[in-house]
């Protein structure tokens, strides 16, 4: 029997009219619909005026590993399994990854019915650069972990998209302002495509104060501009640091690589400048142990 297929389908993130005709057809025709929340699925199909033709099973973060093989057995038998989440695209900060990974490993067909995405919608509405971006999901809940995580992203050049819950938004924005700088451009996007959709575009410091003063509700995405390019340091200004590290015992190649990366200077030019400075008159050069034999060698030759 020919294997069926696993289909990941995007559902509306707010406005039900964003549901695609393909989603409607798949809901009616799939042999199994694996839903993150079966109650929300029933509400969705009622609004879409669609009747689910197959069996409905729950598929969420607490059972996705155990249920993955059951779903793949349907695919192996020639059936279609449709995976949907409460809103948006499965796998993206939602269940779905484990069954996709298992299907790929088993060589079973996997496809998608694309559609609404909170990540892309927030990015498009933010007014921030969209040519390069990354999705960071939900930040850590604990303040210390969250701040450390943001510190690691402080030099990220791409626009960053996060999800956050309303009751942690003010603390998260305050930590972002600390790690990224209060003047870093950002946008808070809430209730996208819904009746009370709102996008607030301000520097992080102002957003942190705004979130602390108002009651923010709904589904929230936070978009933060990437770090601005660092001003490159002149090569000649970095040579002294390279030579100091070499004199301390570090390999010239390694010292050049580290200093060039930190200073934003071209590695080849810094290497050449460091070599030229070492060869310049008056610059002390460390002895080359391969040029002359050691005193022990002299002693051995003399005794012979």
- Number of other residues whose CB lies within 10 A of the CB of residue 10: 23
- 188-to-10, 100, 167, 237 alpha-carbon distances in Å: 23, 31, 14, 41
Flag the least confident range among 55-69, 178-192, 289-303: 289-303
Q: How far apart are CA 30 and CA 49, in angstroms?
A: 16
Q: Give the per-residue pLDDT at 285.
A: 56
pLDDT band for position 233 (cuts 50, 70, 90)? confident
Beta-bridge mates of residue 96: none
Interior/surface letters 197-211, b for 16+ CB within 10 angstroms, e for the rest: eebebebbbbbbbbb
Tell me which residue of 158, 293, 139, 298 sits closest to 224, measured CA to CA: 158
pLDDT, position 45: 96
Where exactly are the structural domains of the chain?
5-116, 119-224, 235-279
Q: What is the mean pLDDT of residues 215-231?
A: 92
pLDDT confidence of 291, banded at 50, 70, 90? very low
| Closest of 92, 106, 98 to residue 65, by C-alpha | 98
Confidence band of 293 (pLDDT split at 50, 70, 90): very low
The residue among 117, 159, 169 whose CA lies nearest residue 138 is 169
Residue 40's closest CA among 60, 22, 26, 21? 60
Percent of the chain with pLDDT over 90: 77
- C-alpha dist (Å) from residue 278 to 201, 243, 288: 52, 8, 13
Q: What is the pLDDT of residues 114-146, one digit of tens each?
A: 999 999 999 999 999 999 999 999 999 999 999
- How many Å apart are CA 301 and CA 257, to the nearest integer? 42
Q: Please tell me the predicted confidence (pLDDT) of residue 295.
A: 43
pLDDT of res. 81: 97
Residue 302 scores a pLDDT above 60: no
- Distance, in Å, from the CA atom of 119 to the CA atom of 130, rounded to the nearest integer, reads 11
Task: Supply the pLDDT for residue 297.
Answer: 42
- Residue 70: pLDDT over 50: yes
**What is the model's pLDDT at position 262?**
80
The residue assigned the tokens 């924005």 is: 173
pLDDT, average across residues 155-164: 96
pLDDT at 292: 41
Class of domain 5-116 as given by CATH: alpha beta
Least confident of 171-180, 187-196, 246-255: 246-255
Q: Which CATH number applies to 119-224?
A: 3.30.950.10
């Amino acid at each position: 029997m020919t294997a069926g297929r696993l289909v990941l389908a995007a559902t509306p993130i707010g406005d039900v009219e964003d549901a695609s005709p393909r989603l409607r057809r798949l809901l009616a025709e799939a042999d199994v619909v694996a839903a993150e929340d079966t109650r929300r699925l029933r509400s969705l199909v009622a609004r879409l005026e669609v009747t689910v033709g197959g069996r409905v099973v729950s598929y969420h973060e607490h059972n996705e590993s155990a249920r993955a093989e059951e779903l793949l057995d349907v695919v192996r038998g020639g059936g279609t399994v449709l995976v949907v989440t409460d809103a948006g695209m499965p796998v993206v900060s939602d269940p779905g990854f484990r069954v996709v990974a298992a299907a790929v490993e088993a060589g079973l067909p996997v496809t998608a019915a694309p559609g609404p995405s909170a990540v892309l919608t927030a990015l498009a509405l933010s007014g921030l650069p969209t040519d390069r971006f990354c999705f960071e999901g939900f930040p850590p809940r604990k303040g210390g972990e969250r701040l450390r995580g943001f510190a690691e992203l402080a030099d990220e050049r791409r626009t960053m998209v996060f999800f956050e819950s309303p009751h942690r938004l003010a603390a998260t924005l305050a930590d972002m302002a600390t790690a990224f700088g209060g003047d870093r451009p950002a946008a808070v996007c809430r209730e996208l495509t819904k009746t009370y959709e709102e996008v607030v575009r301000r520097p992080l410091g102002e957003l942190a104060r705004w979130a602390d003063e108002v009651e923010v509700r709904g589904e929230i995405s936070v978009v933060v501009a990437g770090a601005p390019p660092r001003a490159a340091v002149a090569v000649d200004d970095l040579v002294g640091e390279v030579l100091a590290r070499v004199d301390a015992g570090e390999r010239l190649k390694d010292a050049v690589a580290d200093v060039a990366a930190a200073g934003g200077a071209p590695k080849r030019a810094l290497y050449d400048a460091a070599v030229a400075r070492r060869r310049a008159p008056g610059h002390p050069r460390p002895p080359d142990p391969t040029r002359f034999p050691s005193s022990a060698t002299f002693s051995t030759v003399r005794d012979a």
